[in-house]
A and B are shown apart, each in its own frame.
Chain A
Amino acid sequence: MCETCGCGDPELMPVEVHESLLSENDRAAGHNREHFAGQEVLAVNLMGSPGSGKTAVLEATAAALDGSGRLSALSGDLATDHDADRLQKAGIPSLSITTGSACHLDAQLVHRALHDLEWKESDLLFIENVGNLVCPAIYDLGQAVNVVALAVTEGEDKPLKYPVMFRKADLVLITKVDLLPHLPQVDMKAIEDALSHTMPESAFIPVSAVTGEGIDRWLEWLEELRRHHGE
């Protein structure tokens, strides 16, 4: 009740909260991160547009490792299990997370899926996010690093158009570089320039899942990360 005059009107009360609206997700992500650290598994959140070549890069990764690295994968997809099936065929134990209409994975979805995937014995767990350059960037999943796949066919200014995504990237894989001879208008320098305007520590590797170009550098990057991460 209003105490000033006792009129019976309700009192207005300001309540200061100052809390992130993602705090629930961030708590779940912290929990996932503890799981990954406990099992010494390096979790990689792989993001990118639909058709940027995320699944193909993982297939090429498995082929290049040829059984010498232990991999597992979660694959976010709106409606199908196709990506997880492809990864499974490539020799990566995989599970699909069907998100329905949701445009991104979140930490709780990943946590639930971890119960059904044999990931604990792997060195690397790839979390292939839903193909989307906006929403997945916002949700921490508990990963060690964010990797973004950007195909040479997507346009050189993609990083400038989606700064939120590229700011979060620890590494950008510039995919489908085998197509460059057919794309005289695509200027790799322009892509690099766009990345340097959106990533504070611009890091990228041009790769081709078809020819295998750059996959060795990608594997070295992962290996280097694993060494540092374990320290």
Chain B
Amino acid sequence: MHEYSIVQALIDRVQKEADAHGAEAVNGIRVRIGELSGVEIDLLRSAYDLFSEKSVCEGAELEIVPVPARWTCRGCGAQIRAGEILCCSVCSQPASLAEGDEIILERIEMEVA
């Protein structure tokens, strides 16, 4: 259940930004979570609901943008479809993950006086 550690890092980061901008409240947070990041979105949401209480994030809406895994060939850039062998059928080069492993805090919406 590393989702709890991730949420703790999220709240710490939001607190830092809120302090830096003199925020009175935080209304919303947007994160991007990759399919192959190892973070379960449902678990992240329940960890957030639990840990955000009495923190700077209390009451702030958490928007989670899921990012599907996208593999491309390292050599020719061809797309490699999900469920296939991770090797290019055209040039036999190994695949590389173009996106889908991110755990990113994208944006915070806050109220400033």
Contacts and interface: CB of A to CB of B under 8 A. Distances in A.
Contacts of B27: 12
Interface string A1-35: 10000000011111111111110100000000000
Contacts of B17: 15, 17
Interface size class of B (residues with CB under 8 A): 35 or more
A163 B2 CA distance: 17
B93 to A, nearest CB: 9
Nearest to A106: B5
Q: Closest 7 A-B residue pairs measured CB to CB?
A: A10-B111, A200-B94, A164-B38, A135-B2, A138-B38, A200-B86, A15-B108
A197 B37 contact: no
Interface in B38-66: 38-39
Nearest to B17: A15
B112 A10 contact: yes
A112 to B, nearest CB: 16
A198 interface: yes
A13 B27 CA distance: 10
Nearest to B106: A18
Nearest to B110: A13
Interface string B84-113: 111100000011110001111111111111
B77 to A, nearest CB: 14
A144 interface: no
Nearest to B18: A15
B67 interface: no
Contact of B2 (A18, A104, A165, A199): A104
A207 interface: no
A53 B74 CA distance: 33
Interface string B65-81: 00000010010000000
9 contacts: A11-B112, A11-B113, A13-B112, A18-B105, A21-B6, A21-B9, A22-B6, A138-B39, A139-B2
Residues of A contacting B: mostly = mixed
Interface string A158-201: 00000111010000000000000000000000000000111111
B2 A14 contact: no
B98 to A, nearest CB: 12
Nearest to B108: A15
Interface string A107-120: 00000000000000
B104 A138 contact: no
Nearest to B33: A21
Contacts of A164: 36-38
Nearest to A14: B109
A197 B23 CA distance: 47
Interface in A80-109: 102-104, 106
B39 A15 contact: no
Contacts of B1: 103, 135
Q: Which of A10, A15, A24, A103 has the most CB of B within 10 A?
A: A15
A133 B37 CA distance: 13
B2 A17 contact: no
Given A10-B24, A22-B9, A165-B38, 7 more contacts: A11-B111, A13-B111, A17-B17, A18-B107, A20-B104, A103-B2, A200-B96
